[in-house]
A and B are shown apart, each in its own frame.
Chain A
Amino acid sequence: MEESSVQQAHVHAPPERFIRKHIFSLDHKVIGKQYYALALVAVFTGMILSWLMRIHMVWPTAKIPLLEHISSAGAPGGVITPEYYLSLLTMHGTLMVFFVLTNAPFAAFGNFFLPIQIGAEDMAFPRFNMMSFWVTFAAWAVLMLAFFIPDGPPIAGWTSYAPLSAVGKDAGPGMQWGMSLWGLSIALFCIGSLLGALNFISTTLDMRAKGMTLMRMPLCTWAWFITACIALLAFAVLLPACILLILDRHAGTSFYVPGGLVISDRLQAHSGGSPLLWQHLFWFFGHPEVYIAILPSMGIVSHILINSMRKPLLSGKVVIYSMMSIGFLSYMVWGHHMFLSGMNPMSALAFSFPTLTITIPATVLTLIWLGSLYGSRLQINSASLFALGFISMFVAGGVSGFFLAQPSIDIYLHATYFVVGHFHMVMGVASLFGVFAGTYFWFPKMSGRMMNETLGKLHFWITFVGTYCIFMPFHYLGLIGNVRRYQSFVDDFMQPFLGWHKFMTIAALITGAAQFIFLFNLIYSRFKGKVAPENPWNGTSLEWSIPSPPPWNNFGGKHPVVYHDPFQYGVKGSKGDFVMQDSPEQAVPASGD
């Protein structure tokens, strides 16, 4: 018996039956699309939840049609109760952070394109890959179940701090089965993500085609690889955190709950636990998680910009090292979520310095993106518009980090709308812009059809201006001390600012409505879009060397050989101003620099 190569180890037969082809598929492309579909459902759900929240905040007595049928306790007569507002808030955050921002830029696009971009036939472990999607799907189903149980979803926020989350039904509505479903859902999500990360890492290390050295991988491939490394460590810590939470809730242990607590007039039968333990474990995961959300979009945007500019970035290597530094530093900063938590004030300074330091690679990346635009031949289309919008948003959302990284300023800004504005802008908008850019760019490859450019541009303009209108005021409101997670502002202090809340709500409704243009474009183009050629954007990376959509084994049984990095733009090639990675022809520099 011979030492079998990895190719034989993972070869799976072309799918025959419907179930194997479309449902329990081993094909990374189908799995990628499944993740995308799940993220799409989650993002529209999360968006509607945010609409409900914002409508309730400015029109607290508004009767929302149909809502009473989903929860008669939470919205009697269609009017959202204070506790239901918190349920909506919790589910909005959980859906968006986990099921949208981890799934779409990373699991969806990464699954579809990483194997192709390195010249592999599939991921290293197709069965684990299939499992990772279906476990994630199960996690989503468990979470959504919380909407339909009588007591409703939990009210502890996506951060689920103990002891509120750990003591069970005494803590409030939704905190019995709703909270348990949350814990189970997230534990399942961890397992799904770990399986996915395992695949990304092994595939990148072991399955690259001949000539595809690590440094010749496209920047988005690098981003997915680094993200997978971060995700492996992060979710490996969140899973224990959830297990301990479930044990505290159901097995009577006291990992997180101290003694002597009187909740709902009942002395709780716990003792000795530490609420800070939950915070440490959660944020040890939670901070790297936000970089899991943004790094793939950084990679996707870099990849698209190079193509749109017809020119490489100033240095691919520097971009890679910057992304690596961000990944590395992301593990040293989690305490900046806990400056005021009661942890040792000395450690606040210890966490503040790496937090400020992370600005260095982030600035390097921004300067490189900006500097690369100089002297380029920038093509404008939906994909590049969102890529450029990403740069704008990343800076806008990033600079508010300067404030929050300093513990002294955090004394004032912690738990205000300033924080909410910061993370929405940088995660909710910038990261999502990367997903939009990726969709417009890669839809032709994934589906074999072009998306409608007019609708795409319309989608961009409304979304770009709209998200600035929604989230900039969050920062201003934070500066005057507008506290977050309040279902309405009943006090005198906030009355002068309610007009701004109305403005933000209306902006959110309009911007949200524009997302249906995107959805329509996706669905319509899938069936009626113009048929896409193999390489509609004249790209150099391997995904553009195969048909649109690709066959089940990507390269049709051939083994691609790679001769270049993916940055051969602005050169004289046989096909135009670029040379593809798998083309042996030597790039001739075009006239000019």
Chain B
Amino acid sequence: MSSTIVSVNSQANALPPPKRAAAPAALAYGQERAPSSGIWVGVFAITMSFAAFTSALFVREGTADWGHLTLPSILYFNTLVLLVSSVTLECARQALEAGRLGTQEVSHKASAWVMVTLLLGLGFCAGQFHAWQDLRAEGIYLATNPNSSFFYLLTFLHALHVLVGILVMVYLAGRLMASHTTFRRSLFSNTAIYWHFMTGLWLYLLLLCRMKL
């Protein structure tokens, strides 16, 4: 896989200068803004899925066996960790935009902030795992009651999506470290959109769990 990427890039680099000079014209046709609809489409689909789970929760809430689940307190700490990770990702963006593009120093600085972000993300996931352990210690498992079912389900699926974000960020950090000349800015902005969405989604889920479970 990676060899293919390198070969694409080397091919891109090997394009004759006239073609490169024509790049501004390449931007002129088609669209004025840099295209990034893909990430928004993806975000929208994920939103729809969690909306479906939410409606399932509302339906299930109506039955007699709906109880109450006390959320493990570590969740709030995890929330803080995730919020900070969004801030650090913005620090990475600052680093990219403030410095002169294309310098190694800038991309290395940005890469460092991205690595901090992904470590915080890993911390969040570890914290979520800890929350599940807390519940298990109390004898509350996935199928124990409907409230716990939704709790485990929602937090697990969210953490899974966060992990995907972490994997992308590993790639992102790697690209920033590896080559400062062929780095695609859209990769960063798309990753940032996805990551902030994960944070926002978590805030929503936390609120939902607090109010409903």
- Given A9-B184, A13-B4, A252-B142, verify A124-B27 contact (CB < 8 Å): no
For the complex formed, measure the closest distance between the CB of B62 and the CB atoms of chain A, giving whole angstroms: 8
Contact with B along A247-277 (1 / 0, CB 8 A): 1000111110011000000000001111011
Contact with A along B73-106 (1 / 0, CB 8 A): 0000000000000000000000000000110000
Do residues B153 and A247 form an inter-chain contact, with CB atoms below 8 A? yes
For the complex formed, measure the closest distance between the CB of A1 and the CB atoms of chain B, giving whole angstroms: 5
- Taking CB atoms, residues of chain B closer than 8 Å to A251 are 142-143
Docked pose: A2 CA to B24 CA in angstroms: 10
Docked pose: A168 CA to B75 CA in angstroms: 35
For the complex formed, measure the closest distance between the CB of A424 and the CB atoms of chain B, giving whole angstroms: 29
Do residues A232 and B48 form an inter-chain contact, with CB atoms below 8 A? yes
Docked pose: A426 CA to B45 CA in angstroms: 28
Contact with A along B131-147 (1 / 0, CB 8 A): 00000000000110010
Give residues 163-189 of B contacting A (CB, 8 Å): 180-186
For the complex formed, measure the closest distance between the CB of A308 and the CB atoms of chain B, giving whole angstroms: 31
Which among A5, A273, A274 is the interface contact of B26 at CB below 8 angstroms? A5
Docked pose: A124 CA to B30 CA in angstroms: 14
Do residues B12 and A9 form an inter-chain contact, with CB atoms below 8 A? no
Contact with B along A1-24 (1 / 0, CB 8 A): 111111111011100000000000
- Taking CB atoms, residues of chain A closer than 8 Å to B71 are none
A67 within 8 A of B: no
B23 within 8 A of A: yes
B38 within 8 A of A: yes
For the complex formed, measure the closest distance between the CB of A276 and the CB atoms of chain B, giving whole angstroms: 8
Do residues B52 and A241 form an inter-chain contact, with CB atoms below 8 A? yes
For chain B, the bracket of interface size reads 35 or more
B204 within 8 A of A: no
Beta-carbon nearest neighbor of A120 in chain B: B30
- Taking CB atoms, residues of chain A closer than 8 Å to B37 are 201-202, 205-206
Beta-carbon nearest neighbor of B65 in chain A: A272
Which among B34, B64, B142 is the interface contact of A247 at CB below 8 angstroms? B142
Docked pose: A572 CA to B157 CA in angstroms: 59
Binds A, one of B53-61, B121-129, B192-200: B53-61
Do residues B30 and A210 form an inter-chain contact, with CB atoms below 8 A? yes
Do residues B7 and A274 form an inter-chain contact, with CB atoms below 8 A? no
Which among A11, A205, A209, A236 is the interface contact of B48 at CB below 8 angstroms? A236
Docked pose: A269 CA to B180 CA in angstroms: 59
- Taking CB atoms, residues of chain A closer than 8 Å to B149 are 247, 253-255
A462 within 8 A of B: no
Contact with B along A434-466 (1 / 0, CB 8 A): 000000000000000000000000000000000
Identify which of B12, B34, B35, B184 gathers the most chain A CB atoms within 10 Å of its CB: B35
Docked pose: A197 CA to B180 CA in angstroms: 33
Interface of B is mostly: helix
For the complex formed, measure the closest distance between the CB of A514 and the CB atoms of chain B, giving whole angstroms: 40
Which among B29, B55, B101 is the interface contact of A1 at CB below 8 angstroms? B101
For the complex formed, measure the closest distance between the CB of A54 and the CB atoms of chain B, giving whole angstroms: 36
B72 within 8 A of A: no
For the complex formed, measure the closest distance between the CB of B88 and the CB atoms of chain A, giving whole angstroms: 22
Contact with B along A44-60 (1 / 0, CB 8 A): 00000000000000000
B31 within 8 A of A: yes
- Given A274-B60, A274-B63, verify A236-B102 contact (CB < 8 Å): no
Which among A1, A194, A252, A271 is the interface contact of B185 at CB below 8 angstroms? A1
- Taking CB atoms, residues of chain B closer than 8 Å to A201 are 37, 41
Do residues A206 and B48 form an inter-chain contact, with CB atoms below 8 A? no
A502 within 8 A of B: no
Which among A3, A12, A212 is the interface contact of B34 at CB below 8 angstroms? A3
- Taking CB atoms, residues of chain B closer than 8 Å to A362 are none
For the complex formed, measure the closest distance between the CB of A117 and the CB atoms of chain B, giving whole angstroms: 15
Beta-carbon nearest neighbor of B67 in chain A: A272
Do residues B56 and A4 form an inter-chain contact, with CB atoms below 8 A? no
B208 within 8 A of A: no
Beta-carbon nearest neighbor of B7 in chain A: A13
Do residues B153 and A236 form an inter-chain contact, with CB atoms below 8 A? no
Docked pose: A123 CA to B64 CA in angstroms: 50
Which among A124, A237, A258, A281 is the interface contact of B38 at CB below 8 angstroms? A124
Identify which of B41, B51, B66, B184 gathers the most chain A CB atoms within 10 Å of its CB: B41
A-B contact pairs, 26 of them (CB 8 A): A1-B101, A1-B182, A1-B183, A1-B185, A4-B186, A6-B34, A12-B8, A13-B7, A13-B8, A202-B41, A206-B37, A206-B38, A207-B35, A208-B30, A211-B29, A212-B30, A237-B48, A240-B52, A244-B153, A247-B149, A253-B142, A255-B60, A259-B65, A272-B65, A273-B60, A280-B59
Residues of B bordering A, CB below 8 Å = 4, 7-8, 11-12, 23, 26-31, 34-38, 41-42, 44-46, 48-49, 51-53, 55-56, 59-60, 63-66, 101-102, 142-143, 146, 149, 153, 157, 180-186
